[in-house]
Amino acid sequence: MSPAVADLPSKPSLLESISPTSVEPVEDKAERVEIDRAMRGPVLLFFGAAIAWLLIGSLFALLTSLKFNLPDFIADYAPMTFGRVRPAHLNSVIYGWSAQAAVGVGLWLMARLCRVAVRHGGILYAAWALYNFGVLLGVLGILSGAGSSVEYLEFPRWASVVIFAAFALIAIWTVIMFRFRKPGHVYVSQWFILAAFFWFPWLYATANLIIFFLPVQAAVQGPVNWWFGHNVLGLFFTPIGLAAAYYLIPKVIGRPVHSYYLSILGFWSLAFFYSWNGMHHLIGGPFPAWMISASVVASFMMVVPVVTTGINHHFTMKGNFGALRWSPTLRFTVFGAVAYTLASLQGSSMAIRSWNQITHFTHYTIGHAHLGMYGFFTMVMFGSIYYIVPRLVEWEWPSASLIRWHFWLSAVGVAVMFASLSVAGLMQGWALENPDIPFLASTNFTLPFLWMRSVSGIMMTAGHVAFAASFALIMLKAGTRHTRPTLLANPDEAAA
Amino acid sequence: MSYTYLFIAGAIAAASVFAILAFYWAAKHGHLQNVESGAKIIFDDGEPIGQATDAFPGHQPGTLTKLRR
């Protein structure tokens, strides 16, 4: 332990943390190791649980996808029917995998960037236990038929209370760390994380309160639903994904962000514009025209943070794209950053009323959602975990081959899924617009593409199994201890 | 029911108010000045600019000279 860390009170009271009288940063030389060791327990628990939910969610996804082509497949057992398995998939991967990976990455980044000794780790252990209990309750609630029909909020209300309590603990810990940070500049990733951990409990509590606990009129529940549904993507998952990308890309290649000014502009424009976006899901619905129009405008204002981020990442990487051949972290993260630009610009285009009329209520929207949540967010989380875990475990990834398989199965899988669902959605949308085409025909057009979706899902699930195997092996410290990082290729050969 | 609408309006307004307050705080404390220097705070003597860090702690990937700064 470094002298500076040893000087800190070993267990400051919560009151002392909320109102600190002094900030004692750890020494530069030892701070990374000290912070990583302090964060090891909670971050690895969040990652481990996230990966377990990823596997469970993937199985629900496969079952859901197969039921499109084989509607009688396990159809006689109520918990495994489409109406329950589909929300079980969505909520397993959103709250079980994505949110927990986001929390693990966000907590580690916050600790690293605050550069002070970690305190009150017990809060995080309690939050982890509570959170996973909530997700388990929620998924079992959905399978037992107690779930709601509100998208992204299908968990029964008793589970949502537990999840909110867990997230409140995470938010409290984050605020304490931020309050105690080493004096100096607040890095852009800290802004994103702090905002995300504030936004999520606020969005989740507000939406649950006014849809389930103090329900507003039915007509108002639609806007509340999509205010939450879209914001949880844009004001929680997106900031965490961008926080990771803005830290990892410069760190891996050893080069500062191309334009830090643009990154700051990107954060504040996201903060100001995004919360209006959700109403574009209700184009054509029985809602005030001004509300929809404001959302369409805000959707296009999102081009500002998206383009600034895309330009910034591209010019930060410029000249170093060769590093994608050897760095696992960079390969996943840059894939995710490119998908972020594509998914966001596609999302803005889908707010155009005439285009929305074609794509809404079709598989096109599902393809878009997977490009954003998987192509962007999940891939960045994979890259982050590949960077963080060896530093926590003090052991290297045991197999470059498993990482390679993971990358290609996930990347090709999500690309095939996006392409097949986009084509299927457009055919479906144009068919629905044509009064000469019977409704049944509009769904029959899509059947071959839905088989492709299932195949792509099998590829992605296989990738997840490779990822889980890597995680299990590194946790067991399997194999011989490497003296070099696990890279995908020899950097010297890759550069030649 | 009127209280519910007030609650909704308050919840939505709170987002903007917090964003504005955070922006004011950031400006007041100098986080929007000399921003380009802020990009370098993630580097230090142990992991300096120009050094790749996708490596096991304590070991270098040996690609320092291959990377463009």
Q: Which chain A residues are within 8 Å of B48, Cβ to Cβ?
A: 254
The CA distance from A384 to A253, in Å, is: 14
Give the pLDDT score at A405.
Answer: 96
Give the pLDDT score at A2.
Answer: 42
B17–chain A nearest CA distance, Å: 10
* Nearest alpha carbon to residue A373 among A329, A417, A429, A313: A417
Show the domain range for A85: 27-184
User: Does residue B10 belong to the interface with chain A, where contact is any CB pair within 8 Å?
Assistant: no
Rounded to 10 degrees, the C-alpha dihedral A255/A260/A262/A266 comes to 100
Output the six-digit token pair for B67. 């990377």
- Does A310 have pLDDT greater than 70? yes
Q: Which chain B residues are within 8 Å of A384, Cβ to Cβ?
A: none
Query: Among residues 104-133 of chain A, which lie with CB inside 8 Å of chain B?
Result: 113
The share of chain A scoring above pLDDT 90, in percent, equals 77
Per-residue model confidence as pLDDT tens digits over A141-155: 999 999 999 999 999
Point out the residue among A260, A482, A491 whose CB comes nearest to the CB of B36: A260
- Does A204 have pLDDT greater than 80? yes
Q: Where do the domains of chain B lie?
A: 1-33, 38-69
Output the six-digit token pair for A71. 């509607």
Q: Is residue A68 part of a domain?
A: yes
User: Does residue A250 belong to the interface with chain B, where contact is any CB pair within 8 Å?
Assistant: yes
Query: Among residues 330-349 of chain A, which lie with CB inside 8 Å of chain B?
Result: 330
Q: Which chain A residues are within 8 Å of B38, Cβ to Cβ?
A: 185-188, 260
The CA distance from A480 to A119, in Å, is: 33
Give the number of domains in chain A: 1
Is the ipTM of this structure higher than 0.85? no
**Cα nearest neighbour of B46 on chain A:** A29
Per-residue model confidence as pLDDT tens digits over B12-64: 677 778 888 888 998 888 888 877 788 999 998 888 888 887 754 444 554 44
Would you call A187 and B42 a contact, using CB atoms and an 8 Å cutoff? Answer: yes
B4–chain A nearest CA distance, Å: 7
* Nearest alpha carbon to residue A231 among A299, A149, A136: A299
Q: Which chain B residues are within 8 Å of A198, Cβ to Cβ?
A: 18
Mean predicted confidence (pLDDT) in A48-62:
98
- Band (A9; pLDDT cuts 50, 70, 90): very low
CA separation, residue A252 to residues A246, A248, A438, B61 (Å): 11, 6, 54, 10
Point out the residue among B32, B44, B50 whose CB comes nearest to the CB of A264: B32
Q: Is residue A38 part of a domain?
A: yes
User: Does residue A26 belong to the interface with chain B, where contact is any CB pair within 8 Å?
Assistant: no
